[in-house]
Amino acid sequence: MKLVIVQFSIIFILLTSSLFVLSTADSSCGGKCNVRCAKASQHDLCIKDCNICCQKCNGCVPSGTFGHRDECPCYRDMKNSKGGPKCP
């Protein structure tokens, strides 16, 4: 019985800690993408694409509202279905 309780406790701790890490990464991307898309004419689309890129690139978003793509090679190199840049 004690073994079952210990196993349940370990599983619970692992699950809650991974959820915390995921939510932290999401909030980090949100803040960075808000800065990146601050001057975008299509703000909602920019935020959506930026968040996708940020999550795939482990939280890396270039600084500023434009340019600086060399700061994040993963972000820079992602392409859309037409071969153009995916990330704003």
State the helix-helix crossing angle for 2-36 and 43-56, rounded to 10 degrees: 130
Question: Rounded mean pLDDT of the chain?
Answer: 83
CB of 87 closer than 8 Å to CB of 75: yes
Is the confidence at residue 4, as pLDDT, over 60? yes
pLDDT at 16: 63
Of residues 26 and 11, more confidently modeled: 11
Stated pTM of the model? 0.66
User: 27: pLDDT confidence band, cut at 50, 70 and 90?
Assistant: low
Burial (CB < 10 A; 0-12, 13-18, 19+), residue 53, is buried
Mean pLDDT computed over 13-26: 50
